[in-house]
């Protein structure tokens, strides 16, 4: 019998596995429960996003638990966006002017398996699969699960519960339903939002060519921007690409509501993405066989109930995939949380300080929520940028200028994309504020003709910096 704090983590996806591993490394007694079967034993997830973009914030989380090097073996570096225009022309738009900055394509199940393998090596973790969370007793920190096979119910109590059960979180649902605006006895005010884009997504596959070679350039995130709709593709280690189509549900020339036959799907792809058709041999079968997924943003507050239960990762802040930051933000959650924990639990057996779990949960949210709100908003912005702006001249000019700044003055300039993706030392909310001001400065300087070809790059940079500071100052005066 030990007197360690008992931790129950609900959801053994990427965030839950990383958190379990870290908490176990710190010596807590951890129970990690997952609704689905063990993905190391059962193949699943047909049609769900099977690769993801891993960048600096996510790598920092993996470094924290000592698996960064192992994870890198699963990575394919992507140096930029390969833009495919409607005539089949391509050009590469680098993610950064600095040579060492790139993002990585990584297999979601591959990375999850790696983390679960590490979790399983820890003697102080109990790992339970096939148990779906049905209800959470928020005030008493216990949760009831249903065994997928036997249908039996099982209740687990803990000192603290973490809901890392993803965008459709059952733990968050318990909080939503405990919401009682008037009176508030036994209830609390739970702010909540779910916002859906008018677009859905569909996954398709470009299979590997002979000898696991790639049918198009390997080290890029491919984009076919078409205004209202967009196709992207990320490489996999086996030579294939996972392709995702983003398309309006309805009210568009081409939309999920009217692409109802193989003939129409082929017509649409031949017209919009002629260079892709030949690379997807099973186009129509996949289009009609794979589910159509929605694209939603979820925000909520407070993340904790009664100082007993805390939401983390997608359960607390699901975002749309257009900044490639979903997993990275969740891993950064664990890093931020881990930075604080010693002030409350110097060791897992010592008496809690500073209000214990409740104090810790509140400080964590006070520190973190503005940043997950920021990346949620940035991801929606990027949806519009990717499908529309990447094909527009003024945005291409801006991108070119920023890439030149980063190449020539690597210490002095970070684009909004670089701030978000590569500059882990600043928060998402700072990246949003500075990044948007920079974008506004450059677009207006270009629009006003104030940046011209007689100027040196250094002069252009000074102009952009000055205009950015003026914008930040004016906003500060007006909005505080």
Give the binding site for a copy of itself (CB under 8 A): 168, 181-184, 189-196, 249, 291-294, 296, 299, 436, 439-440, 443-444, 447, 474-475, 477-479
- Give me the least distance between CB of 435 and a copy of itself, in Å please: 12
Of the two residues 124 and 301, which places its CB atom closer to a copy of itself in the complex?
301
Three-state SS for 46-95 is: CCCCCEEEECHHHHHHHHHCCCHHHHHCCCEEECEEEEECCCCCEEEEEC
Of the two residues 1 and 477, which places its CB atom closer to a copy of itself in the complex?
477
- Non-local CB neighbours of 277 within 8 Å, separated by 6+ positions: 266, 269, 270, 283
Of the two residues 84 and 436, which places its CB atom closer to a copy of itself in the complex?
436
- Give me the least distance between CB of 196 and a copy of itself, in Å please: 4
Residue 408 tokens read as: 């020539």
Of the two residues 32 and 442, which places its CB atom closer to a copy of itself in the complex?
442
| Contact predicate 364/311, CB 8 Å | no
Question: To 10 degrees, what angle do helices 428-447 and 393-408 make?
Answer: 120
Of the two residues 194 and 349, which places its CB atom closer to a copy of itself in the complex?
194
| Alpha carbons 104 and 96: distance in angstroms, whole number | 14
84 preceded by a cis bond (ω within 30 of 0): no
- Give me the least distance between CB of 466 and a copy of itself, in Å please: 15
Longest dimension (CA), the chain: 76
| Contact predicate 101/418, CB 8 Å | yes
* DSSP codes, 193-238: EEEEEEEEEEEEEE---GGG--SS-SSSEEEEEETTEEEEEEE-TT
- Give me the least distance between CB of 220 and a copy of itself, in Å please: 27
| Alpha carbons 104 and 55: distance in angstroms, whole number | 6
- Give me the least distance between CB of 248 and a copy of itself, in Å please: 12
| Alpha carbons 413 and 438: distance in angstroms, whole number | 10
Of the two residues 79 and 305, which places its CB atom closer to a copy of itself in the complex?
305
- Give me the least distance between CB of 91 and a copy of itself, in Å please: 24
- Give me the least distance between CB of 385 and a copy of itself, in Å please: 11
- Give me the least distance between CB of 190 and a copy of itself, in Å please: 8
Of the two residues 201 and 241, which places its CB atom closer to a copy of itself in the complex?
201
Of the two residues 132 and 443, which places its CB atom closer to a copy of itself in the complex?
443
| Alpha carbons 384 and 244: distance in angstroms, whole number | 16
């Amino acid at each position: 019998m030990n007197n360690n704090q008992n931790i129950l983590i609900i959801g053994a996806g990427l965030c839950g596995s990383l958190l379990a591993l870290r908490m176990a490394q710190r010596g807590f007694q951890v129970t990690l429960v997952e609704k689905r079967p063990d993905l190391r034993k059962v193949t699943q997830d047909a049609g769900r996003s099977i690769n993801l973009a891993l960048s600096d914030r996510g790598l920092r989380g993996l470094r924290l638990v000592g698996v960064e090097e192992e994870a890198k073996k699963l990575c394919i570096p992507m140096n930029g966006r390969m833009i495919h225009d409607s005539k089949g022309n391509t050009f590469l738009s680098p993610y950064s002017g600095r040579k060492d900055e790139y993002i990585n394509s990584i297999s979601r199940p591959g990375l999850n398996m790696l983390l679960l393998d590490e979790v399983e090596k820890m003697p102080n973790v109990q790992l339970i699969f096939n148990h779906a969370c049905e209800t959470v007793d928020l005030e008493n920190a216990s949760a009831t699960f249903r065994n997928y096979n036997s249908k039996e119910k099982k209740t687990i109590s803990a000192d603290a519960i973490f809901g890392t059960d993803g965008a459709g979180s059952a733990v968050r649902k318990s909080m939503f339903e405990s919401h009682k605006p008037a009176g508030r006895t036994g209830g609390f005010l739970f702010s909540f939002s779910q916002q859906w884009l008018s677009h859905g997504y569909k996954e398709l596959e470009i299979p590997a060519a002979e000898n696991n070679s790639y049918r198009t350039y390997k080290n890029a995130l491919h984009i076919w921007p078409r205004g209202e709709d967009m196709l992207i593709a990320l490489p996999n280690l086996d030579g294939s690409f996972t392709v995702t189509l983003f398309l309006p549900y309805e009210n568009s020339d081409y939309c999920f509501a009217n692409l109802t036959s193989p003939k129409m799907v082929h017509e649409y792809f031949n017209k919009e993405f002629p260079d892709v058709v030949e690379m997807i041999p099973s186009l129509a079968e996949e289009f009609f066989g794979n589910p159509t997924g929605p694209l939603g943003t979820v925000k909520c507050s407070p993340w904790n109930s009664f100082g007993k239960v805390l939401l983390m990762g997608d359960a607390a802040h699901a975002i749309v995939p257009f900044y490639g930051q979903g997993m990275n933000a969740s891993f950064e959650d664990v890093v931020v949380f881990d930075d604080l924990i010693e002030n409350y639990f110097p060791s897992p057996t010592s008496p809690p300080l500073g209000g214990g779990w409740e104090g810790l949960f509140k400080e964590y949210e006070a520190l973190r929520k503005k940043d997950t709100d920021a990346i949620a908003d940035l991801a929606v912005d990027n949806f519009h940028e990717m499908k529309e702006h990447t094909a527009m001249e003024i945005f291409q000019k801006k991108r070119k200028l920023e890439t030149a700044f980063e190449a020539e003055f690597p210490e002095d300039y970070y684009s909004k994309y670089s701030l978000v993706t590569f500059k882990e030392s600043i928060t998402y909310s700072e990246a949003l504020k500075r990044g948007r001001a920079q974008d506004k400065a450059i677009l207006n300087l270009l629009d006003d003709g104030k940046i011209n070809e007689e100027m040196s790059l250094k002069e252009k940079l000074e102009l952009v910096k000055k205009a950015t500071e003026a914008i930040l100052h004016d906003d500060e005066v007006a909005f505080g």
